[in-house]
Structures are given as C-alpha cells and as structure tokens.
Structure 1
Amino acid sequence: MAPPSGTLLAVLLLVYLTALHLSGLALFTRGFLLSRLALPHTTPSTAATTLPATHARAVVLIIDALRWDFLAPAPPRPHSPYHHNVLTLPAHLAAAHPDRAFLFHTYADPPTSTLQRLKAITTGSLPTFIDVSSNFFATAHASSISEDSLLSQLKRHPHRFPHRAFMGDDTWLSIYPDAFSDNLTSPYDSFNVEDLHSVDLGVTRTLLPLLHAQLPQGAPAHAQPFQFLIAHFLGVDHVGHRLGPDHPAMRAKLHQMDTLLRDVVPLLQDDTLLVLLGDHGMDPKGDHGGDSVLEVSTTTFVYSPGPALSQLPTPPPPSLTPHTLYPGSDTPARAVQQIDLLPSLSLLLGLPIPFNNLGAVIPELFWRPGPGGLEAAVRANVHQVWGFLQAYRASPSGGELDDAWDRLERAYVTAKSVGKPPRPDSAGAGAGAGDQARIAMGTAFVRGALETCRALWAQFDVALISLGLAVLLLAVLVLARLYADLARYRAQWEAVVRAALRWAALGAAAGAALGWAAKRTLQAPDAVGKAGLPEWILFGASSSSALFLLLGSFLPPSLSPREPLRWSFDALLACAVIGLHTASFTSNSFLLWEDHVVPYLLLTLLLPTLLRAPAAPTTHLQYRLLGYPLLLAACVRTMALSTVCREEQHASCSVTFYSSATRPVSPAPVLALALPAAWALPSLIQRFLATSKSDRGPAPLFLQYALRASLLASTTYWLLEQLESWPGLNQDRIPALKNIRMSLARILLSTTLIGGYALWALAPPCVELHMREPEPDPQLIVLGYTNAYGALYLLFLLVFYALLFAATQLTGQLVLALFALALLAHLETTDSVRDPVLLALLGHHLFFATGHQAVLSSIQWKTAFIGFKVVTYPFSPVLVGLNSVGPLFLSALALPLLAMWQVSPVLSTQQGRVYVLSDTLKAAVGFMLYHSLVTLSAAACAAWFRRHLMVWKVFAPRFMLSGITLLVIDLGLILAVGVGSAVTCSKVRKMFGTAP
C-alpha cells in the first residue's frame, strides 16, 4: 500500500490537533457551563398552596422589548421624542386608580433573550449562561418546557380554564406546544425583524374580535370564548433591531400600542385581570441578549377593572416595596423582579404556584383583609419555595446548596411564623405591626432563596474542569513540540508527521481502553464529579495520545537536525507579546478593553523590522522595510477607529461603527466612502501583485471583474438596506426596495460562492509566458514566476473574502478593505516565512473592528436576513456565524500566504518535495499554538474566577469566544491546507515540474 501523500499527512495532523482541542473544550464546558436542573415535580392544588381566586379570567399582553422608560410616568433625561411620553395609558390608569392599577419597574434576569424570559415568566425559575444558545437555534418543540409552569397549571384545571387563547410570537408554541386550545392559536414568525407591522396587525385583528365576543359576566365558563389569553406583540422589538429606539418608527409603534390598549381596556369585564409586560428591554441601539441596565429594565402593569386589589387604606411598608432609579431619572420607581409576577398571577387566579418558582408575591396585589390577603399569599409562597429547595437539595445537583443550606434553613424556620394564625383583632382591619413583621420575614426568606440560587446556580464540576484544562495544556505542549520539530526537520517533515500520527493513534487507543477499564472498576464514582464513561474514555484517549507524543522518542533514528533552532529578537518579542496577551486574561479590566490592547500588541511586532530598515544594504530595501510596516501600522490604526462599546466602556468610549449609540445605521462618512472603496480595492490588490509581475493570467479577470462586481453588489445591498430606514423615503416604496435587496443578495451570495470557487478551480497560475528570440539562443521568460504560489492562493482567499464582505455592514466593509491592505503589506515586508503571531493578532483586531465584542449584545442579528425575509434554516444561522466569526476564519484561511508569498517554484522544491507545504504546516501549527494558549488562559481564568462577580459578565463570555475561535481557526486551517494549499501546489507543480 502506498504511503499517504504529503497533503493527506498534513490534514490528518491538523484533524488530530482539532480533535485534541475538541476533547479539552468538551470536558471543560461539561464541568463549567452546566444547564440548570429542572425538577419534574408539580405543585398540587390544596388549601395550603392556593388562595380563593379574585379573577376568573386573565388577559396577558406582552410587548416585546418594552423598556421601562417607554412608559415610565417620569421618563429619564434627556427626553426622547421618539419613545418617551408616547405609550401613556398604563401610567394614567395607575395614577387614576391606585387601588386597581399598578405599574412596576421590572428587572429581567440575563440573558435577555425572548425564549429565556418567557421560561422565567411562566416557571419563575432562573436561566443559566448556556441556555441562551437555544433562543436562536431552537426548532419546533425542541425547546419545549416540561417543568411545572403557569400554562401547565391552567391545563390541569380544565373545568375553570377550558379555553386558552394565544396569538403572536411563535416562540410560545415552541416551548408550550400543547398548552393552548387548538382553535384559539394564531402564531407568527418571531425572527422576521424586517417586518415591523404584520405581527402586530395580525394579533390585533384576532384579539379585538375575541374580546368583543365575550358573553355577559356570570355566563358559564365553558361558554366564554376564553378564560386565559396571551397576546405577544413584536413590533417594538423589531423596530429596535432594525432602526433603534431613536427613530420615528418607534414613536409610531408605541403610539399604535397605546391606541390598542385604549381599545382593549373598555372591553374588559369585571372578572378579568389585565397584565401588560415586556419580556426584556433593549440597549441604546435596539439590541438585547446581555445584562446591561437598559437590557434588563422592563415593565409590568397589572389592572383590575372590577374588584380592587389593594383594599387597605395604607400602602404596604417601604421594606416590602423597594424602589429603584432608572439611569438618567431622578424619580424612584417601584421595582420588582420579573419572576415575581408568576406567584402573584397564579394566586390571583386561584392556582398553585408552580413548583420551581423563586419569585416573591407582589404585596400591592394582595394588600387586603381576609383569607386571600397578603399574609396568606406569603405563607403559600414560603411553603412552595421551601418545598422546591428541599427537592433540589435531594436531587443529584443538590450539592451546590451545601454551603448555603444552614443559612437557608435558619431563614425558613424564622419565616414559618408566617404560618401562625393572624391575631383576631387584625381581621378586617388591616395588617398590624406583628402581621407586617411576619410578612416581612416570609418575604425575606423567599428573596434570600432567590439571591442564593442566583449566586450559586452554576454548578461547577471542578473535576471535569480540571480534566479539560489538563487536555488543553497538553495540546499546547504537543503543538510546541511539533512546531519545533517541523522547524528542525524541514526537508523530512513527512517522516516527522507520519511518526507523530502513528504514536498518537497508539496512545489514543491505549488511553481509551484504560479510561474504560478505570471507570468500570472505580469504587467511588462521586470522587470525580459527574464524569461518566464517555468522559473517562475521552480524557483517557486525548491525554494518553498527547503524552505519547511528548514523552516518547517518536522521531525515526535516521533523521538528523538540518536546521537548528535559533532564538532571534523577533522570536523573543513574539513570545513576549503572546505572554502579555494571555496574561491580560487574568484581569477583568484588561478583558473589558481588549479591543484596545490588541492593536497595541500588534504594532509592537513591527518594531524589529523598522529598527532593521536603516541598516538594509540597498536603498530600495530600506524603503521597503520602512514603507510596508508603516502602511500596515496606518491600516491598523485606522481600523481601530471603528468601535462598538461594551456597557462597561460607555463612560470612556464612543460608538463609531454605527452613526451613534442609539442608531444602528452607518455613519455619513462611511456612506460616502463605501462604493469608492469597493471599486478601488481590486485595483489596489492588483498593484501589490504587479510588484512581482504576478498580475497576469487569470488575475485581471478575477480582480477587475469578478471581485469588483461582488464587492460593489455587497455595498449596494447594504446601502439599500440603510435607505429603507431613511425617514424621508416614501413608505410605499419600501416593499419594492426590499424585494430588490432580497434578490440582489441571493444572486450575490450564490454567484460568489459557486462561481467564485469554480473560477478559481479552473484558473491556471497567475503567470504569463513570453518567448524572447535573440540570436543565437531563444529564451523563455515567465512573468509572475517568483510569486506563482502566493498569487494563485490569494485568489482562493478572495472568494471567501467576498462572501464575508457581503455579510458585513458598511463600516465593517471599509475595515475589511483596510485588512486586505494590511495583510498584503505584511506579506511584502520580507521574503522569508512570516510571523503567524502578527496574523493572529490581525484576525483578532478585525473581529473587534467589524463591530463585535465578547458579549452577546454585539451579535449583528440583521445579517440573518441577508437574502431572506424570515429566518431560514440553515442559511440564517450560517449568515450570522459568517458575520460573527468570519473575520477569524479569514485570518486562518490567509495563513498559507505566509509560506507562499514571493516563493518561486525553484526555491520551494528539493528532490520533488514541496517545501511550501512543509512551511505552511509549520506556520499552521504555530498559528494553532497561539490560539491554544489564548484559549487555555481564558479557560483557566474563567475557572479560577468562577465565583468572581464578573464571571458571567466578562470571563465566561471571553472563554466562549476563545473556544469558538479555536475551533473556527482549526477548521479554517484544515480547509486552507487540505484544499487551498493542496490545489495551489498541484497546479504550480503541474505547470513547472520540480525544477523548471
């Protein structure tokens, strides 16, 4: 059997290293990012768990992304004419009927994505960090909720709630597929942010007739058209995503919602309770998902058109009714937790509180004498929360409550005094001091349980975390050894890789068998956390294969070092930069400003070249060593002008990626420069190729026509997208513009992907042959010969570059143009194999400069609709991923250029062996090594600071970004080496042979 080819060996090595990374990340995340355990218990309906119902029916209206200041009675400064004092009816009712209408500033737990918020509203539970992934990628019924909830309790009481209606966001039917009556559901797509009105108009057309169809109060429950109704409006959220809160469309949308409420309220009967709430807020540019103050600030409004909810003459004491200040406001607002609505609404409807609830009843809604008053409500609340804590303590995840259990138990013993009968003299006269004290103790217990679970909810498995860190550390050591061996045995690299793969396979087999045997014979399974048989086999295989490579002498004896390792100043500086970058992960302050740290480190790497320039032997080389690094530095600094700000940066950061922090559109200078930049970039790239005469063959056709057409079409798409948000545009023209934009995007993406790679696959090397015929000997002149590899591979890279350009907004397109110039300037600086560290930092810099941060709120969701009016699987997730991690993938695809640029075929071969492939593999291993170190540092810091205040806000998101980046880089390198480099080398060798 013939030995595998050099390309196959290189790809197999990269696949093995990727598997090593995957195993380390899988073990670490299995221990660090665990999902919350949802207990299957259900609260029974008994006298101890329920209260007499005050209302027979409920209408729940949800306005998606309804931020608190959108309907606050005293909006903050500066006042916005677009979203302040527009939706005014709730504040008016609360002021006019203080005993029947209540308006609350509401805190929504992060992550502030709709699915997680709906789960919290209906179950009263807290989400975990990893739960957010299901919001976008959930398909029908894939995220259905099986735990006890308000909807499941309604379904368990069909005699009282036989008809349950729903209309609006179809996320409800994904999480509760069987909760609503079949003939009373009107779902609408939740992700079509391009459509601002269809969902709201459709919900209104269904809601108002249903309210008009109600029978007079007192009619049998089964005869009424509904007993429980949810209407979820999406327009405010879509306006926010599409245009931002400071836009005339937001004012129009809020006015529409105010008008709707004014139509709904007169139709409510006395036995119906109205609840209006937002699921989350929105940040200044209209997005959400994170934990900034504006994203977690929403509202809850409760209105009873019939019986008063507060019947006592005095309001609840301040200790039970905390207030908060919204940013920019000088008027405190009554504050509640969003999950507080669940126990309150359940008891008002005469239902048990769902079992997993951690919310506390809202005092104002029960401030009345009698058996259904606040003391009885708090008693039922305490009973339910303590039952949940006991069940959770007895579950497999109960160990996380160990440290807090004594404190919780003492608080419960104190709170049980709520269960004592009220004093006879207090009945009907309001709550006395003793009653208020008992109520306060019960509320304090419930709130303390919430804070305890909120602080300790992430169940960290230290054993699995340690196993994952060990594998990631071994991967770093393996990469370091492979990099050194590939540098020393350049001419014999195939033997090195073949031996390494052989020993890695042997070690993996032995380790997997050892892990299986160890797990089968282990006497104390709890000693290693939750590591099951798959984790044992995975750790055994990965760690053993790495150890075989590190400790074994796997190199064939016949190999002798041909190129000894040398520690130059450049190498030492690169190591120092890597050390500084990885060390910065130990500080949350450095992580918050990483987008500023990266360009500083990147520019530091240019110092050696600039210092050597004056000593260059020729003037031409001096200019080259000065000019190209300065061009690279100028591009880097200009790219850094494009910023988006994290919440923590806002005091010292100005958003420049968008026109402002509140308008998600491109700045005016960008609009002016976008088309000229798209037109000029192909010519600038061709000028770089012209220095080596490699602007021949297919290069002019590819650059001047194919690439230019793709870039111009991409820019036109985003200009049309921005034109739709122009207030002066005739609204009747928007549908036509949208259709043009959708068609343009589909043609652009399909022709770029299919046509671009087909053109590259058929293209010959970028050279031109000339026959010079002087007497007596004719000569064959090959123009572009010195850069035959680099020019052809550049065309391969530019196809993906064009795809990324299409998925990037206008400001990001200018940044991508600067990245292309910076990359070419780096390649032109020297004729040797270039430093992969600089390219890795350039990829990080591109990620930040194209409008991204290591936070969920920086995800540019509008890219999901490039070419589509609704979310379309799998294209929409792919487009969002392309926009988010495409810059990092692009840096990985560009890596072979470090080994190919300005390398002629005659210098790249020896005895038929292609050195370009060897040098590419070595650069790829070095590139992996850098990203592995970054990921190891991010993981180690997230684990070390797992009880840090900023763990879920800073450290965990940065680890997730590092882990995703590492896998994206690995995949990019496999494609770069296995496809781009392999085809390029094959074409060049086919044309020139081994020594033309």
Structure 2
Amino acid sequence: MARLPLLSGHVLALLLLVYLTLLHLSGLLLFTRGFLLSRLALPNIAPSTPNTTLPPTHSRAIVIIIDALRWDFLAPSPPAPPSPYHHNLAAHDPSRAFLFHSYSDPPTATLQRLKGLTTGSLPTFIDIGSNFHSTSIKEDNLILQLASSPRFGRRAFMGDDTWLSIYPDSFTPNLTSPYDSFNVEDLHTVDAGVTSTLLPLLSSQLPPGTPAESQPFQFLIAHYLGVDHVGHRLGPDHPAMRAKLLQMDSVLRQVVALLQEDTLLVLLGDHGMDPKGDHGGDSVLEVSTTTFLYSLGPALRTLPSPLPAALTPHTTYPGSPSRARSIQQIDLVPSLSLLLGLPIPFNNLGSIIPELFWRPGALESALRLNAQQVWAFLCAYRESGSGKELDDAWDGLERAYVTAKSVGRPVPSSGSTDGGEQARISINMSFAFVRQALETCRALWAQFDVVLISLGLAVLLLSCLALGGLYSSLARGRAVWEEVVRQALGAALGGAVLGGALAWGAGRALGPEAGKIGLQELVLFGASAGSALLLLLTTVLPNNLPAPTRKWDFDSLLAATVVALHAASFTSNSFILWEDHVVPFLLLTLLLPTLLRAPSAPTTHLQYRLLGFPLLLAACIRLMSISTVCREEQHPNCHVTFYASSTLPVSPQLVLLLALPSAWRVLQISKSDRGLAPLFLEYGLRASLLAGSAYWLIEQLESWRGLNPARIPGLKDIRMVLARVVLSCTLVGGYSTWALAPPCVEMRMSEPEGELDKPPRERKRQLIVLGYTNSYGSLYLLFVLVFYALTGQVVMVLFAVALLSHLETTDSVRDVEMLDMSAIAALDPTAPAPTGPQRAYPAPKMVEIVLLALLGHLLFFATGHQATAFIGFKVLTYPYSAILVVLNSVGALFLSALCVPLLAMWQVSPVLKTQEGRVYASVGCAACAAWLRRHLMVWKVFAPRFMLSGITLIVIDLGLILAVGVGSAVTSNKIRRMFGTAP
C-alpha cells in the first residue's frame, strides 16, 4: 500500500524545493541583468551660465498635468467614430497657443513618464519595476534647475504624491498638497483637492506688473488624476469620462482667466490609455497624449514665414480625418528650460519645439544650445563605464555634430531673421543631429547583453535537465526516495561550492578582460551551473536504483511533444499573440490517450468513467476558453467576453448572474463528503463564493449609468466591508478550521447480515470507515479550496469541475492499469509482479502533470489576467495590495501548483503498519514549468511574456513549497495519527 512522507520526509522535500527555487531565481537574475537593461544616469549637472541658456520669455510657469490625457480627448478633429464622451480643446491663436500630439516613450507608467518629463531622458525596461516604489531622481532635471535658480524660489505642487517621492526636497514645504495616487476607486477626491488649492493660490496673485519674486509662486505643478482613475475604473467610453473631461475644461478656463502676462501655461498628459482605460505598454492609444502651451503675454512665434517641413513632423491618430503636429514628449524639457532662462538638463535627449522659438535669431540659438548639450552628454557617456555601448554609432554621431557645428554662424543680437540659407542649413543640421542622437540611444538601450542572457539561459536549461533527471530518479527509487533526495542535495551543494570557486578564480585571473560581466555575476553563474550540472550527473550515472519500469509509452511521448510544442510556440510572434487559443488546443490533445483507452477498459463501469470524465473535462476547457480579453493585435478576429465590452472593464451581467448558481452547486461532483467536508462545503465554501459574486455585482452596479451618483460612496463602503470579511474569514477562519479539523472520514459500527440471527451478545460487529479510500485526497482538497474560495467567477467553477474530472480520470486510468497487471500476473505466473508503491499506486505520469500545468495556464487567460490592487482596500496598503496584485495576476498558476499533490493523494488509501515506501510527485510540476524560457523578440511581444514567465516560475515554486510544506505535511500527519499508518 502507498504511504506518504512524515514531517521528516517533508523537510527533505522542502529543502529540495527551496534549492530549485533558488536555482530558478539565479537563472532569472542573470537573464534579467542582460535583458532588462537599466540606463546609466550620469551625475553631471548642466551649469547655469549665459552660454548655456537664452534670455527668458516668461518669469513664471504653471504646469497642469491631467493624468492619461489621451490625444483624442483634445484633438481638434476627433477620430471616427466619434465618442460622445470625449470633447475638444482647440487653440485659436497661432502665435500664443500651441496644441501638439505627443509621443510618450513606453513603458507608459506614470513614474517613468514623470522622469522623462523632467530629465528629458528615455526609460528602460527595468524602470517600470519601480512604479510602485518611487525613489528620488539623482540625475540632472528641470526641477533641480528650478530649485537652483534664485528666480524660482517659491515652487508649488499639488496632486499626485509621486512627485514628492522622486523630488522630496524640491518644492516649498508650505506650498505642497500631495494626494495618494493609487486609489483608482476614488474618482474625485484628488481632483477636488487640487482645484481647491490651485484656484485660491492663483487668486492670491498680486496685480500684473508686480515683480515675479513677490508673487505667491514662481513655478507651479498641478497633477490631476481623475481622468486616469475613470479610465481604470470605468473605461474611456463612459458618461463619467465626459463629466470628468468637462470638469477639467472648467478648471482650465478658470486658470486661463486668472493667468497673468508673465506666466507660461503648460497643459499636458503623461500618457494615453487603451480602449479599456489601462496603460503601461506601447500601443498607439497608450503612447498618444497631448501637450498644450499658452502665453497670454509675449508671443512665442513672430516670424511670418513657415517653418521648415523637416522640423515639423506630423502623424495620423487612428481614425482621425486629418494629420496632427507631433512631437516627442521629452521635447518639452529643453523647450521649457530655455523659455524660462534655465540650462537644459544634462542628460536630456529631447529637441526644442521649433514653433516656440520661431522669432528672430531664437530658433538657431536654441538649437545650437540644444546640440551642444546633447553632444556634451554623449561625450560624458562615452567616457563612463558604459561608454562601449556607443562604439558602433560613435563615428556617425560625431560626423553629424561636426557638420551641424561647422555650418553654424554667430547670431546677431537683434534685427536678424532666420530666413537666410545658411541659417536654415544650420537649423536643419542641428535638429537632425539631436534627433539622430535620440534614435541612437533609443535603439542602444533596447539592445540586450547577449553574454548575460546566454548565461541565464544556460542555468535555466541545466535546471530543466536536472529536474528531468531528478524526476526519473524519484520515479525509480520511490521506496528509497529520501536517500535519493539526500544525494541530490549533497550533489547540489558540492557542485555550487566547486563551481563558485572555479568561477571566482577565473574572474580574478581574467580581471578587466572579463568585459561587462562582473565578478558577482560570474560567481553566481558558476555556483548555479555547477550545482545543476553535478545534480544532473548524479541522476544519469550508474547507481543502485532499479531500472525504469515504464518506458516511453504513447502517453509520455504525447506529453513531451505537447511541452515541446508549447515551448516552440514562443519562437513565433503569432503563437505568442494567440497563446490563449493555443493552450486549449494542447489541453484537448492530452485527452486523446484516455479516450482511446476507454473502449478496451476491462469493465463497463470503467469504460463509462474513461469516456464521461474526459468529455466533461473537454467541455470545461471549451467553456473556459470562451472567456477572454483581446490583445490589440488580435482585432478584429477576437471579441472581448471577460468584460462587458472592449471599452467597459466590468463583468457581463449574464456571467455575474451565472456566478451565483454556479457558486452554489460547485463541487457536487466530488464524493469525498464525509467528516468536515459537508460543513466546509455547505457553509464555508458556498458562502465565500456567493460573497465573491456579490462583490462583483455591487462593483458593476456602481458603474450603472442610471444610478444616483450620491449612492456610489455607500456601495463602495459595502463592497469594501464585504471584501474584507471574505478575505479575513476565508483565509484565517478557513485555514484555522482546516488545520484543527479531523480527516474527512466517518466511522460506523455495523452487523453483517449473517450475524442478525444470533443473540445480541454473540453477534460480531465490524467497523466501517466511510471515506477511507480517499482520506488523503479529500482532506488536502479542502486545503486547496480555501484559496479557491476567494473568487466567485464562473470560470473558477469550471476550473474546479475540470480539476475533479482530471483527478477522477487519473484514478480510473490507474484502476485499469492495476487490473491489467493483475490479469497478466494471473495468466503468466512468471511475469514480474509490481511490489511496494508500484503495487498500490502507480507513479504520476508526465501527461497528468502537464495537463494540470496547462489547465493553470488556461485559467490565467480565462480570468483576464487583470491586476487589481484594491480588493478590500480603499487606498494602496502594503504589503496586502502588492500581494493581491500578484495573486490576481498569476493566482491561477499558483492554484494549479497547490493542486499538484492531489495527483499523488487522490483515491490513495492509508497503509496500516507497513514500511513499503512513499510517494513524492511534487517536483514534477516544477519540471513541467521550468521550460518556460523565451527567445529574444520585439519589446511589445516578448518582454511582457518573459516577465510573466519569470513571475510564474517563482510563484509556482512558492506554491509547491506551500503545498508540500503545509498542505501535504499536515494532511499526512493527520491520517497517520488517526489510522496509525507508517510514515
């Protein structure tokens, strides 16, 4: 009979899983160091001298940022079809008002865009990771230059508190009004607070003509968040968006009415939003935003001649009937700096906006200073530790700068225009050089360190091979699996020490010749690779383990083929884009062996089970695959079903209504309903699922267009209380009850029929244990269901039914195999009969583990993989909000990892007083997940998939650690104490 390991055995299993997690982390770390490059921020500060700036046109400035202000919200010609919820702000004075379509570099997260708007630099992949943990900016920037200038002594700020995180000491303390930036549930508090601070401050200005230093402020930033929050919460096509944009229009009109002639007004968005209101990527709608400048006093453009066409590129917004003047968002940094008489920040790569300097002598001078600043930055970068990055492009950059400088000429102080041929050439060449530098650096910081990437991939590949060998060794040596694990851990530790020492010696010997690879990276690679390699050798070299009892049968070959096909699909953009359709196809393919085996099953009952459960599983897979969200590239061949529409990020009404009866009837298929199970299922699980369904129903009610807005706060409070009760009661109460409760079995005394005719004293009674054959599986299933109970979605119900169908199918296949082996033994007494664990329980097959892993992937796509940080919290609350973000994003794969021990426990009877061995199959799930490696593709397709894969791999590892260290350990010990089983 099969037995499961005791706590001592679980300690070994935990150590092995922790080692595998560390091995995965080391490979991912090396890979990300080469892939997620961080830009070198030079500490140089641009000096403020007459030779580094121009005379200021304005002595004060007001910068109003409307978060997520997409271009079409202000476009003079709205795109087709027009939305009734967007309106326009058009500029009518071509000399004092300018409206530009702005391109914001991805990633379009707020923090990265604020960095670009103040430093003029480009973001890199690694920057997006700091969006939830802002740190102060050390490199030269516009705010630093303002703080260093005596003319801007009073700097006011109000709005998104991210500004004070990245510039903690740059604003006047009594002129700051920060507000929490991550509470997307709140659509109005931040905006109302900003307006209530902004307008009184503008109203307190002294009469026109008063010196700027006597005014209440010289520089002001007001950052509104309502548009962004409406987009996240309700989408752009909602009446709330129209109301919010009208509110912003009203605020802007009041600001303009209070504007004085010495003040420059800048209105801009930091990024756009996609059709659902989200942002962070590089789709056209996310990178398209707005920049609007207005000068009540001095005209910024006085020359009547048109600007050179090369200086004024245009773009066409999707669906727009006309082209719009387009700029790079970082172009605002050098332009605003020179207009205020400040030097351009040292690390800037943006170009001045020509329209703002189309005055006699101004444009050529501005571009000359711009080109000098960019060249100084390139030279300093060339001399830094990362200077080799510029080697291939340096000659071209140098020629472009020398050419621009050679055709330049001194500009008279007055009385000249920029109409001369030499001036035009100088302007064009300077502008071309700055743009060439921008594109060079943009391409440069999108390149990868191939060496570090290769080292990371090598570690991950070795970990896959080592896991495969370890799985094989555990399958062959189940009777002595603890010794197998001890040998594996010893080999891993020895290999880590030996590999790390050799790598350290090689690094010290090579010194500078090691190139960009630091000694730490080299030692990490040596230790990781040496550890995995020695572990692999211990599994393939001759040992005392028995020969494999199961060859590569059809099931195993099919599972290996499916894994290989899934991995190979990541070599194609198209397959990555349509992965949500690829996974269901692969899952259905894995059901073929069972369906083909059904007609030949030895009993009619097993034939029905081998046909019914796989077909039920296939139906669940198909129904789950209906729920989807669409990538931008999938249109028009994809239709959003997870949300009510592609522009309304709430659940469809039908799905929410179906969630209630589905939650009520979930898990009725399971026959493991003894002991604690009825109480747990009837009151705990159902109540949690119903409460989860009610949460989403209330959330959709909040977005109902016919709802009185005054009732929304009350609904929010009800939803928050409901969520907190469910979270606390389910996690704390559920796991506490599970830990203290006995196994899901029921004991009864009965009298056989033959004993009924005897006198009562002479009758023999027998003890019947109901639920005995699945006492392990039923108890551990309740452990999994506590985590499962945190949602009320229909697809989660389908996943539960699919999981139980998979477990019952697996049990039926094993029954068939045991009957076949018994029949062979009866016909041929000389045939080797299975012994030990093989007799009571065949080892979990690769196809069973692969199917469970892919089922977790399908659940990931079916649940929309949308992160929500505020379930149960009105504001960003660490660490709970961050944990909920991760679990909401990859919780499906975490749940599938928790389910892995069920393959080893389902329908396994406890073994009484024997020492026949143990079953350990949890490592197999990590082996199935470890191949999630990616090839180098474009940023838009590959980078998000890689980030998901890395997080997924670690989450699965953590799920396995929790499953083995808590779930299966407690379950095994409970059964052992009740039935007196051996370890």
| Pairing 1:401–2:390 present | yes
Whether contact under 8 Å (1:108, 1:280) holds in the other structure is: yes
Whether 1:927 and 2:925 are equivalent positions in the alignment is yes
**Quick check: 2:409–2:423 contact (8 Å CA) kept in 1?**
no
Equivalents in 2 of 1:612, 1:461: separation in Å? 50
* Aligned 8 A contact 1:165 1:228 in 2: yes
Question: What is the deviation of 1:602?
Answer: 0.8
* Distance apart, 1:866 and its partner CA: 1.4
Pair 1:287-2:278 in alignment: yes
Give 1:540's match in structure 2, choosing from 526, 530, 546: 526
1:41 aligned onto 2:44: yes
Shift of 1:961: 1.2
Map 1:516-531 to 2 at 5 A.
Answer: 516-519=504-507, 521-531=508-518
Residue 674 of structure 1 and its aligned partner are, at CA, apart by 1.9
Indicate whether 1:820 and 2:800 are aligned.
yes
Aligned with residue 379 of structure 2, among 390, 395, 399: 390
Deviations 1:299-347 (A, max 9, x none): 0001110111110112312221111110011111100010011110000
Q: Is the 8 A contact 1:274 1:304 kept in 2?
A: yes
Give the aligned partner of residue 29 of structure 2.
26
Partner of residue 358, structure 1: 349
Partner-residue secondary structure (3-state), 1:419:
coil
Equivalent pair of 2:462/2:533 in contact (CA under 8 Å): yes
Structure 2 gap ranges (5+): 1-5, 756-762, 815-843
SS at match of 2:132: helix
Letter in 1 for 2:498: A
In the TM superposition, what is the alpha-carbon distance from 1:538 to its structure 2 partner?
1.9
SS of the aligned residue for 1:868 comes to coil
Residue 538 of structure 1 aligns with an amino acid whose one-letter code is L
Please tell me whether residue 875 in structure 1 is matched to residue 880 in structure 2.
yes
Pairwise CA distance, 1:44: 0.8
Is residue 284–residue 662 contact of structure 1 (8 Å, CA) maintained in 2?
Answer: yes
Is the counterpart of residue 486 in structure 1 residue 499 in structure 2? no
User: Relative to structure 1, is the Cα distance of residues 311 and 899 closer, same or farther in structure 2, using a 3 angstrom cutoff?
Assistant: same
Contact 1:102 1:303 (C-alpha < 8 Å) held by counterparts: yes
Q: Indicate whether 1:550 and 2:553 are aligned.
A: no
Letter in 2 for 1:358: L
Residue equivalent to 1:844: 857
Q: 2:930 aligns to what SS in structure 1?
A: helix
Asked if 2 retains the 8 angstrom alpha-carbon contact of 1:490 and 1:563, the reply is no
The 2-side partners of 1:980 and 1:724 are apart by: 39
Q: Alpha-carbon deviation of 1:427? A: 4.4
1:712 counterpart = 2:690: yes
Q: CA deviation at 1:418?
A: 5.3
Match of 1:656 in 2: 641
Give yes or no for the alignment of 1:73 onto 2:59: no
Residue 563 of structure 1: how far off its partner (Å): 4.7
- The answer to whether the 8 Å contact 1:137/1:877 transfers is no
Match of 1:773 in 2: 751
2:9 pairs, out of 6, 20, 29, with: 6
CA offsets per residue over residues 489-528 of structure 1, 9 Å max, x none? 1211111111111222222222333333333x32433424
Matches within 5 A, 1:847-858: 847-852=860-865
Alpha-carbon distance between aligned partners in 2 of 1:419 and 1:437, rounded to the nearest angstrom: 8
- Give distance in 1, aligned partners of 2:562 and 2:611: 22
Corresponding residue for 1:856? Answer: none
Q: Is the 8 A contact 2:363 2:418 kept in 1?
A: no
Counterpart of 1:395 in structure 2: which amino acid? Answer: S
Aligned partner of 2:823 in structure 1 is none
Which of residues 494, 503, 507 is equivalent to 1:515? 503
Counterpart Cα distance in 1 of 2:950 and 2:464 = 14
Unaligned runs of 5+ in 1: 853-858
> Is contact 2:480-2:917 (8 Å) kept?
no
TM-score by length of structure 1 reads 0.92
Moved more, 57-66 or 957-966: 957-966
The alignment partner of 1:231 has SS state of strand
Q: CA RMSD in A?
A: 1.9
| Residues 102, 326 of structure 2: 8 Å contact kept | yes
Following the alignment from structure 1 to structure 2, what is the Cα–Cα distance between the partners of residues 34 and 396? 14
Separation in 2 of the partners of 1:753 and 1:553? Answer: 40
Report the residue type matching 1:484 in the other structure: S
Matches within 5 A, 1:225-244: 225-244=216-235
Counterpart Cα distance in 2 of 1:953 and 1:33: 13
The residue matched to 2:140 in structure 1 has which SS? coil
Shift of 1:430: 4.1
Distance 1:241 1:624 in 2: 46
Give the 3-state SS of the residue equivalent to 1:36 in structure 2: coil
**Match of 2:305?**
314
Q: What letter is aligned with 1:548?
A: L
Mapped to 1, the partners of 2:194 and 2:245 lie a distance apart of 15
Q: Does structure 2 retain, via aligned residues, the 8 Å contact 1:464–1:528? A: no
2:143 matches 1:151: yes
Q: 2 CA distance for matches of 1:44 and 1:815? A: 60
Asked if 1 retains the 8 angstrom alpha-carbon contact of 2:651 and 2:696, the reply is: no
Find the counterpart in structure 2 of residue 98 from structure 1. 94
Paired residues for 1:937-952 under 5 Å: 938=934, 941-942=935-936, 945=937, 950=938, 952=939
Instruction: Report how far residue 423 of structure 1 moved.
Output: 8.4
Q: 1:670 aligns with which of 647, 650, 655?
A: 655
| Secondary structure in 2 matching 1:689 | coil
1:914 Cα deviation from its structure 2 partner? 5.2
Is 1:695 the counterpart of 2:684 in the alignment? no
- 8 Å contact kept, 1:499–1:554: no
Q: Residues 77-106 of structure 1: CA distance to partner in whole angstroms, max 9, x if unpaired?
A: 1111111x2x43xx0xx22x1111000011
Judged with a 3 Å threshold, the aligned counterparts in structure 2 of structure 1 residues 458 and 995 are, in CA distance, closer, same or farther, namely closer
Give the partner amino acid of 1:339.
Answer: I
Cα distance between partner residues in 2 of 1:872 and 1:633:
40
1:724 equivalent among 680, 695, 702: 702
The residue that corresponds to 2:451 in the other structure is: 463
In the alignment, is the contact (CA less than 8 A) between 1:461 and 1:530 conserved in 2?
A: no
Deviations 1:927-958 (A, max 9, x none): 111211123xx1xx12xx4xxxx2x1111221
Contact kept in structure 1, 2:656 and 2:696, CA below 8 Å: no
- The answer to which structure, 1 or 2, has the higher relative contact order (CA under 8 A, 6+ apart) is 2
Residue 855 of structure 1 aligns with which residue?
A: none
- Give the TM-score, by structure 2 length: 0.93
Q: Match for residue 109 of structure 1?
A: 105
Q: Does 1:256 align with 2:247?
A: yes
Q: Which residue of 2 aligns with 1:589?
A: 574
**Offset of residue 719 of structure 1:** 1.1
Offset at residue 552 of structure 1 (A): 4.2
Deviation at residue 671 of structure 1 after TM alignment: 2.5
C-alpha separation between the residues in 2 aligned to 1:275 and 1:208?
Answer: 16
Contact 2:913–2:980 (8 Å) recurs in 1: no
Q: Is the 8 A contact 1:912 1:994 kept in 2?
A: no
Query: Bigger shift: 126-135 or 457-466?
Result: 457-466
Q: In structure 2, which of residues 696, 705, 717 is the aligned counterpart of residue 739 of structure 1?
A: 717
User: Which residue is equivalent to 1:567?
Assistant: 552
